[in-house]
A and B are shown apart, each in its own frame.
Chain A
């Protein structure tokens, strides 16, 4: 079963818009929260990651917001571009090596 719950399952956004993907977890032992991006036929690739002692991390157009008390974190994609169309997975680390992935969000950016 998924230890990390991700929503929405899919979203469509206009070029230049903001995409928001949310994740929630229960296991307070998780201590590392990466986001992976996956294009069709490819393996996932690390996009951005955060640790629970930080509330926000920004890299270019991608921002993670982290709410430790609510056990929730989210990915914001600003100024969405057609090249951002992909499936995004949130994940959480346990035992220093085992990543638990969410079910994924398919993002479609319309030009």
Chain B
């Protein structure tokens, strides 16, 4: 596809379950980002990949959050033992630039996670 694709679009999990959220960036984009957007708030940075290397994971809220991009393309954000406070929209973005922050980020539509 032409844009960033995320799946699933909606996920309902019971507290304590593990979830995996997938991101297919725009083909050829070097940089990939995950952001967390709570209801009524702006996106908050979680982690940054340049190709397959995770260069910054300082925004991950806890060690229950794990992200990977093993072949430098598709990325997965995994949340273990989900808690209610994990409920949010998880946005993936990609950029053709290394760094990417000083240029346009292309966002997917997000995966809305609801933890009951």
Name the one of A45, A89, A93 contacting B42, with C-beta atoms under 8 angstroms. A89
Q: A89-B43, A101-B42, A101-B43 are in contact. Are A96 and B107 (CB under 8 A)?
A: no
User: Is A93 a contact of B45 with CB atoms below 8 Å?
Assistant: no
Interface residues on A, range: 20 to 34
Residues of A within 8 A of B1 (CB): none
User: Is A43 a contact of B42 with CB atoms below 8 Å?
Assistant: no
A111 and B40 alpha carbons, distance in the complex (Å): 25
Residues of B within 8 A of A6 (CB): 42
Question: Which residue, B41, B44, B105, has most C-beta atoms of chain A within 10 A?
Answer: B105
- Contacting residues of chain B (1-47) with chain A, CB-CB under 8 angstroms: 4, 31, 33, 40-45
Residues of A within 8 A of B99 (CB): 96-97
Interface status of A100 (Cβ within 8 A of chain B): yes
Distance of A19 from chain B, by nearest CB (Å)? 18
User: Is B101 a contact of A99 with CB atoms below 8 Å?
Assistant: yes
Interface status of A69 (Cβ within 8 A of chain B): no
Q: A97-B56, A98-B101 are in contact. Are A45 and B107 (CB under 8 A)?
A: yes
Residues of A within 8 A of B55 (CB): 97
- Smallest CB-CB separation from B38: which chain A residue? A103
Interface status of A41 (Cβ within 8 A of chain B): yes
User: Is B102 a contact of A31 with CB atoms below 8 Å?
Assistant: yes
User: Is B101 a contact of A102 with CB atoms below 8 Å?
Assistant: no
Q: A31-B102, A97-B56, A98-B56 are in contact. Are A44 and B44 (CB under 8 A)?
A: no
- Residues on B lying within 8 angstroms of A by beta carbon are 4, 31, 33, 40-45, 48, 55-56, 91, 93, 99-102, 104-105, 107-110
14 contacts between A and B (CB under 8 A): A4-B42, A32-B102, A43-B91, A43-B93, A43-B110, A44-B105, A44-B107, A46-B105, A94-B101, A96-B99, A96-B101, A97-B31, A98-B45, A103-B41
